[in-house]
Amino acid sequence: MTFGKNKSWQAAELKPVGSRLKNALFSNWCVTWTSPQNPVYNYQAYTASQYFLFGGRLRSLRLSDLYDYSTFISTIVLHVASLPLYIIFEAKYTWTHISPAIIFIFCYLWCLSAVCFVRAAFQDPGLLPRNIHLVDNVVRNGLPIEYFNNPIVDGPKSKVELKYCTTCYIWRPVRSSHCSSCNACIMNMDHHCPFLANCVGQRNYWHFLCFLTFIVLLCALVCAQTAYRISQQNIADTPMTLFLLIYAALCVMFPASLLFTHLCFGLTGITTREYLTTDKVDGHFFLKDVCLNPFNSGNLFANWLRQWLRPRGLSTLPLRQRFSTTDTRFQEYVIGSLT
């Protein structure tokens, strides 16, 4: 076997946008889509599957075409549109006939949900660095056969497998998984969410749950307030109120069902990915197999607290630090066959 190395950060140069100032502010800071010839910061060398905004402070998944962004863009449009629609068509009636507090609560919930969405969609979900566990002379000898076996280690309640990722070339921590969409291993990966265009993992799971919670509360508030107005007025005189009622009722369905699903998962200490990969053994009740997962503490309340209060932890891939050409975490290795 041969073990080739491809420095992906040298694969593309930033095209000049005009003046050097524009190039520095827009292409290298505001939006970083391709890697410059000589990266200064780590995020500039990590553009194979991501693009970065505002000097690496925000990031998102690089998708193949605009159609792949449709779900992500739809989520943003539906959320952003709710604020002006409510303020234009409902704020005046609510202020004078119900209570100004309803408007402040709506705006507060909208802002909280927006912040949680940005944190969940545009920040690090728990990326693990690449090429950490490579042996000496790997270019000549390839990976040892032991790396393709899954050793058994002690888990919280029972034995669990430790797996080696042959894409990232690292031993993955327990409950971590490789995401083919993000092309990276994610700590405590729950699932890849197309509505966020990001994985949900160790460092953004809490923001994901909060986003769902605030969206459900926001839609419930709009449904209750618009239903009250329709009951007090002729429906023919308030067509936009009826529209907002239907709008909120439709928008709340999927987040509410998703939130309920995750709350159920939290009670058993299982993630979405673990639930989907649980073996359905003939002759066994499936729920029993879920509840017997090695990360279930046996206490529903303790599992629920761990789901909501689990610490985010520090980032294992500091993308805003200065880049070093000897840093192998940002190089891509490709294993091929001898010909």
Q: How many CA atoms lie within 13 A of 315 on its CB side?
A: 11
Tell me: pLDDT of 37 over 70: yes
Residue 158 falls in which region: left (phi positive, over 0), alpha (psi -120 to 50) or beta = beta
Summarised one tens digit per residue, pLDDT across range 209-240 is 999 999 999 999 999 999 999 999 888 888 99
Q: pTM score, two decimals?
A: 0.86
Residue of 116, 179, 185, 193 marked active site? 193
Tell me: pLDDT of 269 over 90: no
Instruction: Between 281 and 234, name the one with better pLDDT.
Output: 234
For the chain, report the end-to-end CA distance as a whole number of angstroms.
9
Cα(270)–Cα(262) distance, rounded to whole angstroms?
Answer: 9
Instruction: Between 138 and 269, name the one with better pLDDT.
Output: 269
Cα(230)–Cα(98) distance, rounded to whole angstroms?
Answer: 13
193: annotated active-site residue: yes
